[in-house]
Structure formats: C-alpha cells, structure tokens
Amino acid sequence: MLGRAIREQPRIFAVAVTGSVLFGLMVIASAYVVGAVVGKVVVPAVARGSVTDGALALAAAALFGISVLRVVGIFGRRLGAGYMQYRLQATYRRRVTRRYLDLPLAWHHRNATGTLLSNANSDVEAAWYPIAPLPFAVGTLVMLVGAVVSLFLTDWALALVGLAVFPALFALNVVYSRRMAPRQARAQRLRAEVSGIAHESFDGALVVKTMGREAQETARFAARAGDLRDALISVGKLRGVFDPMLETLPSLGTLAVLVVGAIRLRQGAITVTELVSVAFLFTVLAFPVRAIGWVLAELPRSVAGWDRVRRVLDATGEMPYGEVALDPATPAPATLAFDDVHFGYEPAEAHLPGAQVLGEVTFTVPAGKTVALVGPTGAGKSTIASLAVRLVDPDSGTVTLDGVDVRELTAASLASTVALVAQVPFVFDDTVRANITLDRPGIGDEEVWAALRLAEADGFVAALPEGLDTMVGERGTSLSGGQRQRLTLARALAGRPRLLVLDDATSAVDPRVEAAILAGLRAPTDGGAPASILVVAYRRATIALADEVIYVEQGRVVARGTHTDLLATVPGYADLVTAYEQAEQEREQTRTYDEVTPLTSGLEVEVDR
C-alpha cells in the first residue's frame, strides 16, 4: 500500500521526505549545538563569572539558523504529506465511483448502498490515512541512523544505550500494530454497517413512518452503533496501554544516558559537551520516533479500508462498449430485435444457483411501430426492457438496433439512440430544467418545453412558482407520482431517442393523460420524428394503441399479435387483461369518490393526479 502511494505521487513524496530529512538532521545538529553552547559557553562563563558578547552572539546565531532550517523542513514535510494524502484520497474516490458506473446492475444488486457509500468515503480515507505521518517516519529513520552513527563517534558505551532503546521502540510498535489490526478491521466493517442501516432507514422513511416502525429502526441502528462504539473503545483502550509505554522508552533512554554518561565523564572518556549533546539528543528524539508509531498504529485501519476499496476496484463483470456508431443524423425510428435471447440473474451468493429469467425470447419492434409487452408479474418484462437498453447483456442470443448488436455500439451511440423510462421515476434534487437536460449539449429551453408538451407535463410545470427553475426536492418530493413520471418521460424525450422503452412508466398517470401521451409519441409534433416504442403495459387502453402485443409468461414469448386477436385466441391473455381492467375500474371509482367526498363541511378535495 505504502509503495503504491509512493509510486503514484513520487515528486510530492520526495518533497515531503526532503523536508522531513532536513528536520531530522537539524534535530541532531541542534543537540550538538546545544552541547557545544553548554560545554564551551555556559560552563566557562560560570567558571569565570562572566560571559563574552561574541560567544553569546555566536551561540544565538547557530541556534537561530538551525531553528530556521527546522521550520523549512517542517513546512516542506507537512505541505507535501498533506497534499499527497488528500490527492490520493480524491484520486481513489474518483476511481471507486468510476468503477461503480462501469460495473453491471447485477453487481450492484448484491451490494448494499450504504456499503458502497462507505467504500467511496470512509474506506478511501482510512486507506490513505497513514500517508500524513509517512514522510515524517521516513525522515525519522534517517535521523535515527544519523543519531546512532553520531553516538558511535562520540562514545561506544553511549551508543550501546541507543542500540538498546531504538530496537525496543520498534519491537513495541510491531506488537502494538499486530494487536491493533483486528480491532481496526472490525471497526471499519462496523462503520460500513452503521452507514448502511442509516441509509436504508432514511431512504425508506415513508415505509418506516407509515408502518409505525420508528422505534424498531431506532433500536436496530442503536444496536449497531453500540457495537461500533465498543469497537472504537477497544481501539482506544489498546492505545491507552501502548502510548504511555512508547512515551516512556525514550525517557528511560535519556535517564540511562545520564547514568552511563556520568560514569564515562568521571572516567574521562567523554566531555561535558558530549554528555549534554547525547542527553539532549535522546530528549528531542522522543517526539519524532512517535511518527513511526503513528504509521504503524494506522496501518491496520488503513489495510482494512484498502481491502474494502480493492474489492470494488478488482470487481469483475463490467460491460465494455464496442466501436460501432450508428449515424447520429438519421431521423428515422430504430428497429429493435431480440433473437433467441436467454438470460439469468447471478445469485446473491456464489455457492447458490442463479435464476433463469428469460428463454428463447424472439421478437421485433419495427421502425416507427409501438409494441406492447404484456404478462403476469415476474414474467420477465422489466428484464426485457433492461436488455433493450443494455443495462444487462444476454447469456446467449442477440439484441440488435438497426441490425447491430448492442454490445458492439459505442456508449454515446447507444445513449443517443435509445432511452428508458423506468417503472420507478427518479428525480434529482435540482430544478425542473436541470432534471430534463442533465447538462446534455443541444438541449435548450425550446427543446425542454417541446419534451414537456409531449409528456403532457407542460401545464403543471408552467404553473409551478418558478417554472423551469423550480427546485423539485430530493427524489422530487414536491411533485406527485404522476408528475414525477411525466417529468422523467420528458427527460427521455428531450434527447430525441429513436427508440423509447417505457417500463410501466405511466402507471401513476390518469388513463386519459396516458392515452394522450402515447398518441403524441406515435406522431410527435414540434418537428420531431416518431420513435419506435416498446412499452410494458397493463391498461387495456394502452395495450389497444399498440401495433403489436407480445404476451410473455415465465420468461418466454407465448403469443404475439394484435390486442383483438390475442383476446380471442389466448385465454391467459384475456384473463390477465380483464383482471387488470377490473382493478383499474375499482381504482378509478375510489379516486372519483375521494375527489367529491367532502372532508369538512363546505370543503371538497381536488386530487392532483
């Protein structure tokens, strides 16, 4: 990990280490300058009872010069280390996010959103947290080598004290790191779990509140947060044990130097200057040596975070795009064809068998035509829609646009040719305009209003307080369900796709409005050419507008033909459509009743569809 960081940011690391080495060398130099000042200025001055101005000026200049160089070293070390750490964190946040976008939906289905958020945030931060003290630790190693050499040049007995203290510090740090590793790994995992539970609870706030599950969700979050608290307390306890030991060893070394140094001084082996220099050196080494401990202390958490980040970066299953581009100037509707398509979702766990969803699916959506997909729940209709826009790839068989396998198309060509309006509309916490344009080039206000008219959404948008500049709130909370659906439909239409895939995209819209939308899509105004349409439909009125109906059961195409023909020849289709129609009539009756029933005297409710 540390090697990867250095290889990715070698120049910044070199600046930081240079500053740290300069600081370390100045620490050693300061010890010997202080020793020289004591031995050659202070002691003679005490003996004479006076001090010369020249000696004081020289001592002050030496100490000031060393201090300036130490400041320069600290500045270079901290600036380089901080820049390196934050740059790596930003780089890997982008890489993780980019990887999320490359991986298929099947991979995302197996990973909780809270965990993915933790990977891109706290795990990335943890992975590169040791980078801040790393240059300091490298400079400290250089300083320690220099200190040991200077000790041997001073006196072999004092050097042996250093050789005893420094390895003991390293050994203590290694023991500390090994004991800390499992604690930090557990804490990092619990951080992701707490984030996941919080995200799930907030995202499902409507369900939590309507089901009266606030207390249970609070208890579930509190239990996992308590586990995280206990894990972090365990980390703190271990630090509480080892930190005093790491602080004490250099102090013991200083005491040993004074004892051994006093004996050597009495023997005449060293001078007062040398004794003071070595004692001071051990005193000032205490803090820099801690930098090595900081790196080793953070490595367990860092490794735990890196393992979680690497799991994302090393994940397989991305769907590479091809190099074929359909002619963007072609205004004609596209032709979609499924040829003997089989598809099965990967299991959530590797040891479990996958679920086969589609088999032998073959049909065509001719250019400019509307084809309706009809079938019972779980028949594979949404999967067919996902295959049509290449959210997933078939296990076998081909899906083609204008005769070209969608796997061979470039990403830009696919996005400009086909658009999906999903079953559950997603609206960004932004303005109406931004939700429709998505910063796509060539979509101005004129194109936005044209798309809104096609989606039968221009009326309610014009009535909003600030029109296109109205903020719609997170997930479009200020809009009704039908308004959100029409807004997402307008978003798709603004790009003028040649194939439009509607996955039950107008279920929350009044049937009359839905019929107007589909009629407009079949022959759009505002200068646009009609698009081919593949629509997952339930309502009889919607199905009747289709040029052809594809009836699917258990992942297979059972029948195809016009709505009238299938009603007469396929009992399962007739029963399903009749059941849908009866359910729709009941909903309409309930809606009509709610619209005219007064809640209070003189007050009637008008339902915003």
Per-residue HEC secondary structure of 184-201 comes to HHHHHHHHHHHHHHHHHH
Average the pLDDT over 501-525 and give the result: 70
Q: Which residues pair with 561 in a beta bridge?
A: 549
Q: Which residues pair with 431 in a beta bridge?
A: 471
- Cα separation, 325 vs 302, whole angstroms: 44
The 3-state DSSP class for residue 266 equals helix
**Cβ pair 335, 404 in contact under 8 A:** no
The pLDDT, as a whole number, for residue 508 is 60
Average the pLDDT over 544-559 and give the result: 88
What are 16's two structure tokens? 């930081």
The pLDDT, as a whole number, for residue 603 is 36
- Cα separation, 99 vs 41, whole angstroms: 65
Q: Is 152 exposed, middle or buried (0-12, 13-18, 19+ CB in 10 A)?
A: middle
- Cα separation, 380 vs 554, whole angstroms: 7
Q: For residue 428, is pLDDT > 80?
A: yes
- Across the chain, mean pLDDT equals 80
- Cα separation, 372 vs 552, whole angstroms: 11
Q: For residue 528, is pLDDT > 80?
A: no
**Cβ pair 428, 435 in contact under 8 A:** yes
When pLDDT is cut at 50, 70 and 90, the band that residue 165 belongs to is confident
Domain 1-314: assigned CATH number: 1.20.1560.10
Q: For residue 301, is pLDDT > 80?
A: no
Average the pLDDT over 504-519 and give the result: 69
Task: Report the range of poorest mean pLDDT among 79-88, 326-335, 428-437.
Answer: 326-335
192 CB contacts (<8 Å, ≥6 apart)?
Answer: 114, 115, 118, 119, 122, 123, 308
**Cβ pair 139, 16 in contact under 8 A:** no
pLDDT in tens, 81-113: 889 999 999 999 999 988 888 887 777 777 777
When pLDDT is cut at 50, 70 and 90, the band that residue 609 belongs to is very low
**Cβ pair 565, 372 in contact under 8 A:** no
Domain ranges of the chain: 1-314, 336-428+477-590
Question: Would you tell me the crossing angle of helices 134-154 and 272-313 to the nearest 10 degrees?
Answer: 150
pLDDT in tens, 171-188: 777 787 778 777 877 887
Q: Supply φ then ψ for residue 534, to 5 degrees.
A: -115, 115
State the DSSP H helix or E strand holding residue 219, giving kind and residue range, or none if neither: helix 214-267
Which is it for strands 396-401 and 404-405: parallel, antiparallel or unpaired? antiparallel
What are 314's two structure tokens? 């090393």
Q: Tokens 């600036």 belong to which residue?
A: 79
- What single-letter amino acid sits at 152? F
pTM, 2 dp: 0.64
Q: For residue 351, is pLDDT > 70?
A: no
The DSSP code for 498 is: S
**Cβ pair 397, 361 in contact under 8 A:** yes
- Cα separation, 496 vs 443, whole angstroms: 10
336-428+477-590 belongs to which CATH class?
A: alpha beta
**Cβ pair 257, 276 in contact under 8 A:** no
- What single-letter amino acid sits at 456? E
The 3-state DSSP class for residue 362 equals strand
Average the pLDDT over 422-443 and give the result: 83
The pLDDT, as a whole number, for residue 91 is 92
